[in-house]
Amino acid sequence: MFRKYIILLMAGTALQLSASAQNDVKKGFAIAEKQSEVMLKSIQEAKAAGKTGVSPRTLSASGDLLLVASKDWCSGFFPGELWYLYNYTNDKKWLEEAKAYTANIEQEKTNGGTHDMGFKVYCSVGNAYRITKDPHYKDVIIEAAKTLSTRFNPKVGCIKSWDGRPQWPFPVIIDNMMNLELLFKATKFSGDSSFYKIAVSHANTTMKNHFRADYSSYHVVSYDPETGSVLKKVTHQGYADESAWARGQAWALYGFTMCYRETRNKAYLQQAENVAKYILNNPNMPADLVPYWDFNAPAIPNEPRDASAAAVMASALYELSTYSAHGKLYRNKANSMIKSLTDHYTAALGTNKGFILLHSTGSKPSNSEVDVPLSYADYYYLEALMRQKHLKEKGRL
């Protein structure tokens, strides 16, 4: 009798968790719809006031909306949000807005001066193709992959991240893992295996050189472009070179999870699981699972949070849960992150020019974008909600 009671209790708890997750999806997208309507108006008002730019990035210190040009690494996130809104609601108004804002980014397919092709093109055009299957978008992705490939150095085995940094002859940042999905897709679309091979080389080299023994990641590894040898390892946007910048750990978790999806190389799955273990077992992870901007920041708990890192982590954990034996743990942790973000980190309706999440941190060492809304926090939050929804529909939540 007692055994039967325990089984029923566990089943009831699972149903409660499932219902809670479903409510978070509905609540999160309801907030996102209202705020995105505000954002569209805010963009028009900014343009009417003479501001240039194609996408929102954040707010200024005085609360003004900051728009960026298509070349900015954040330009693709708002179009991607609009695609997720259409994906969720099937409301044609979001489809039209998504197409219009995505069109503003397409010219970046030939911009070889940056590694951020995935963030710019794949978050916008990639979602456009995923949802519409319009072959035009496929062509843009293939062209973008060709451009990104020009930054690959076979001696190093990686794609160069930044230009114009004389202190780092060939810098590779952990964020660059997020650009590999575009390369994998380009091989599928074109049949050209060179993109796939570049992505695998970059992932392997990053796995070898970017991580410490505890599976925390450096932000930047600088290479000698002539020999491929490692010159220096630093954490440019974190507290210190040996500290664990929270969003960097999120990029690592997401990037290697995605690489496992595209290759089925179990080394990538194991890497993602090890990064997840570092994040989830970290003694400085707050109870609400929205991390401080750096896991080793000196004034914890009096340090800024980074909602963007939590959003990326949650999205990655949902996907990782579908591949790993630890799937239940990852889903539960992701659910907790999303509940925290939805209940305590969303902006009041009609405020913050339409941004969805509050309390993100861009680069605290530069005193840039600290405790502000950021477009990429909103993008990965909506992606995580969509992944939560799909898991629920498949009976895996």
Pairing of strands 55-59, 65-68: antiparallel
Q: Say if residue 166 is preceded by a cis peptide, omega within 30 of 0.
A: no
* Tokens (6 digits) for 126: 């990639």
Q: What 3 state SS string does the chain have? A: CHHHHHHHHHHHHHHHHHHHHHHHHHHHHHHHHHHHHHHHHHHHHHHHCCCCCCEEEEECCCCCEEEECCCCCCCCHHHHHHHHHHHHHCCHHHHHHHHHHHHCCHHHHHCCCCCCHHHHHHHHHHHHHHHHCCHHHHHHHHHHHHHHHCCEECCCCEECCCCCCCCCCEEEEHHHHHHHHHHHHHHHHHCCCHHHHHHHHHHHHHHHHCECCCCCECCEEEECCCCCCEEEEECCCCCCCCCCEHHHHHHHHHHHHHHHHHHCCHHHHHHHHHHHHHHHCCCCCCCCCCCECECCCCCCCCCCECHHHHHHHHHHHHHHHCCCCCHHHHHHHHHHHHHHHHHHCECCCCCHHHCCECCEEEEHHHCEEEEECCHHHHHHHHHHHHHHHHHHHCCCC
Per-residue buried b or exposed e for 306-320, using 16+ beta carbons within 10 Å of the residue's own CB = bbbbbbbbbbbbbbb
Residue among 133, 180, 315 at smallest CA distance from 125: 133
Which of 24, 72, 91, 116 is flagged as catalytic? Answer: 116
Which of 24, 72, 175, 378 is flagged as catalytic? Answer: 175
Residue 24 annotated in active site:
no
Query: What Å distances lie between residue 135 and 89, 147, 190, 295, CA to CA?
Result: 23, 19, 12, 43
Residue 288 annotated in active site:
no
Catalytic residues, by residue number, are 116, 175
